[in-house]
Structure 1
Amino acid sequence: MRQSIVRGFAPLFLLAAGTAGAAIVQHEGHVAPVHEALAKAVAAPTRTPANLARDQYRHPAETLAFFGVKPSDTVVEIWPGGGWYTEILAPYVASGGGTLYTVASGRGLNGVNQMKQANPALYGAVKTADFPAMTAEAPRVPDDTADAVLTFRNVHNWQMGERPFAAEAFRQMFAMLKSGGTLGIVEHRLPESADSALERTSGYTKLSTVRRLAEEAGFRFVGTSEVNANPKDKADHPGGVWSLPPTLQGGETDRDKYLAIGESDRMTVKFVKP
């Protein structure tokens, strides 16, 4: 059984993989299964086989259970990319009458729009908006309406480039959420002892940086889970996080070594809007 300690939140929580691929959440000796609809969404035959292969590294049922996402929630997925989590979140929130927003800028919604066109019955209800919304006219998630805002492996992008915008990204995520709403972050983890300059080039970010950005925006830290940890990853690759699968930026160079490591070591962090 894989265990994941949730730190920074008393009393202690444990998150673990249960039977039949479902997760359980244990709190003060009380064990409850992941919502049946979540287990069903993770196991859905409509998921892409290539995406299913990544579950061993991304643990979607355990991750969403840790964040406390309910099928009746209004959920915002920040920068969905090719829609890896969208495949799970869309049917999950639809099962409970919830609402899913996928938000990005420019071509960042191409993957989701293709999903909507290919399967409107499953993804047609997914709403889209700009993120970050940089003009008053940009479509955006209305303030104080979301129960959960989730972003997976994106914070490093907001710190890179000529014009980093991480502070504004966190400010806009804070604005979307209702009081008491959850911000859930999964991010490639840079060791605290590493040179912070690597956050601008390597694709890895320190937990202390994520906490600082969130708390400066007004969030309260709840805790972390080790469900997406990978001790094989030392975050010291010449090509940064992109050396690892699924990118394998180096091609055949050290391919077997990087496949043996697997996907990156990741922090899984939960915040709340007071």
Structure 2
Amino acid sequence: MKTLTLATVLSALLLSPLASASTPTTQASAEALQLAVDHPSRSPANVARDKYRNPVATLQFFDVTPSSTVVEIAPGGGWYTEILAPLLAAHGTYYAAHFPADSSSDYYKRSRAAFVDKLAANPVYNRVQLTEFAPGNSSAIAPAGSADVVLTFRNLHNWYGNGGDEGMVAIFKDFYNALKPGGVLGVVEHRLPADKASGDWQKTGYFPQALAIKLAEQAGFVFEAESDINANPKDTADHPGGVWTLPPVLRLKEQDKEKYLAIGESDRMTLKFRKPVSE
């Protein structure tokens, strides 16, 4: 039996007559996603979270292929970088839009420095293009009109506090400008139940799905689809320490730890938007 490697699958995908389609769903593309998720360079701690983050299904839903140009907004410690970098290394492009280098925030500086160190530590990251993003920052996350996909994972609740509705629309417009016509914006976020959206939800880490859709549409996007790939019906979104009560943070430490471990990570909306082909 022939052993599949990421290089083998990528070569097969490149030679496929479907490789140039806008949203290819070939077996080779699916295999390449799985092999990237199984890449030996991934941290065991990150691999352990796959059951909550469902990376293969999530990236497929967002039309990510090995030949895509992808921008990940706020990659943090690089959880998805460990998957996207090997996936896109041969035939795609990966922009990691991290905190600005000239930020005055000590947290931003430490986070970016750790990410830079991560990129330098393994040649699998040699082709990662490090750009910048922060609410209100004027730096380009990628060349205008260059991206097939812009991705953001669990960030909306942080950004909303930096300008509310208006600030969020401006952020979504930055994503819109980076995308090609027909490009995809993929959003994963802790989901606030609709019946809790009228309270003081901004401190919980959860975000109203209807508001996310409304603000993206105001920026020009068309809401195309939602998925329950990352849903967790056990999560009631009313924990004493907000979403951080749940793993992996476990804000309450040993208090009711087994209860929160049994719930697992948060219930998450998975939303797919598209930039119109013609405006």
Say yes or no: TM over 0.5: yes
Q: CA deviation at 1:112?
A: 2.7
Deviation by residue 1:88-134 (Cα, 9 ceiling, x = unmatched): 00100113x11100112242533431221111x11121111111374
Q: Contact 1:102–1:109 (CA<8 Å) still a contact in 2?
A: no
Amino acid at match of 1:98: G
Q: Contact 2:71–2:141 (CA<8 Å) still a contact in 1?
A: no
> Which protein is richer in strand relative to its size?
1
* Match runs of 1:212-223 below 5 Å: 212-223=214-225
Residue 69 of structure 1: aligned partner: 64
- The reply on whether 1:98 has 2:92 as its aligned counterpart is yes
- The reply on whether 1:87 has 2:121 as its aligned counterpart is no
Alpha-carbon distance between aligned partners in 1 of 2:128 and 2:175, rounded to the nearest angstrom: 18
Counterpart secondary structure, 1:193: helix
> Which protein is richer in helix relative to its size?
2
* Match runs of 1:121-200 below 5 Å: 121-132=123-134, 134=136, 138=139, 140-160=141-161, 163-164=163-164, 165-200=167-202
Q: CA deviation at 1:206?
A: 1.2
Amino acid at match of 2:95: Y
What TM-score, normalized by structure 2, do the two folds share?
0.82
Residue 266 of structure 2: aligned partner: 264
- The reply on whether 1:113 has 2:119 as its aligned counterpart is no
The alignment's C-alpha RMSD in Å is 1.7
Counterpart secondary structure, 1:35: helix
Alpha-carbon distance between aligned partners in 2 of 1:232 and 1:104, rounded to the nearest angstrom: 32
* Match runs of 1:26-45 below 5 Å: 33=27, 35-45=30-40
Alpha-carbon distance between aligned partners in 2 of 1:135 and 1:255, rounded to the nearest angstrom: 39
Residue 228 of structure 1: aligned partner: 230
Unmatched 5+ stretches in structure 1? 1-30
Percent identity reads 50
Alpha-carbon distance between aligned partners in 2 of 1:160 and 1:154, rounded to the nearest angstrom: 11
Q: How many residues align?
A: 240
Pairing partner for 1:52 from 38, 47, 51: 47
Q: Measured at CA, do residues 224 and 140 of structure 1 come closer, stay the same or move farther in structure 2, by a change above 3 Å?
A: closer
Q: CA deviation at 1:77?
A: 0.3
Amino acid at match of 1:125: R
Q: Contact 1:198–1:204 (CA<8 Å) still a contact in 2?
A: no
Alpha-carbon distance between aligned partners in 2 of 1:248 and 1:109, rounded to the nearest angstrom: 24
Alpha-carbon distance between aligned partners in 2 of 1:220 and 1:57, rounded to the nearest angstrom: 27
Deviation by residue 1:2-25 (Cα, 9 ceiling, x = unmatched): xxxxxxxxxxxxxxxxxxxxxxxx
Alpha-carbon distance between aligned partners in 1 of 2:51 and 2:237, rounded to the nearest angstrom: 19
Q: Contact 1:132–1:172 (CA<8 Å) still a contact in 2?
A: no
What TM-score, normalized by structure 1, do the two folds share?
0.83
Q: Measured at CA, do residues 199 and 144 of structure 1 come closer, stay the same or move farther in structure 2, by a change above 3 Å?
A: farther
Runs of 4+ deviating beyond 6 Å: none
